[in-house]
Amino acid sequence: MEGNQINVLYIDDESNNVISFKAAFRRAFNVFTAESAEEGRKILEQETIHVILSDQRMPKETGIEFFQSILSSHPDPMRILITGYTDINAVIDAINVGQVYKYLTKPWIEQEVKTAILNSFEVYDLRRQNKELTQKLMEANEKLEFLARQNLLS
């Protein structure tokens, strides 16, 4: 899949960061932005999102809390936490609680973010392909079992 077909959601309470992100990546990816976790949830309900980047420190809900809250309803998108603060507890929580794929620091480096998004999408796509192949394998096994039973009965 081409980069501009990858749906990326960027959540940050600072509007300047949201504007900068969209300006930097809108040509490479299909970018959706939100200035709160609540706005991010609304976008997730309306769009198929492949990669989510969220700021950690937001007023009502942290990035980790947001990721944790969407795990059951939206388990497939890859999650990247982005923050200006290096807090080892946040990193540990991000991995253990929010199932974050990558942790990036601000100010972000454009090429580093782009690479992280592309790598995240590659994992997303491999997981999707794995699910499809597993489903096909299960269906083929059911057909083989049915045929085997038919042969035993005849």
In tens, the pLDDT along 18-37 reads 999 999 999 999 999 999 99
Across the beta sheet with 78-83, the strand order is 30-34, 7-11, 51-55, 78-83, 102-105
Local structure of 54: helix, strand or coil: strand
Q: What is the pLDDT of residue 145?
A: 87
Taken in order of first residue, the domains within the chain and their CATH numbers are 3-153 (3.40.50.2300)
| 32 close to 18: Cβ distance less than 8 angstroms | no
Question: Average of pLDDT values for 44-72?
Answer: 94
Tokens of 59: 């007023």
- pTM greater than 0.75: yes
As a whole number of angstroms, the distance between CA 128 and CA 32 comes to 21
Tokens of 31: 């970018």
**113 CB-contact burial (10 Å; exposed 0-12 / middle 13-18 / buried 19+):** buried
**107 CB-contact burial (10 Å; exposed 0-12 / middle 13-18 / buried 19+):** exposed
Q: What is the pLDDT of residue 144?
A: 86
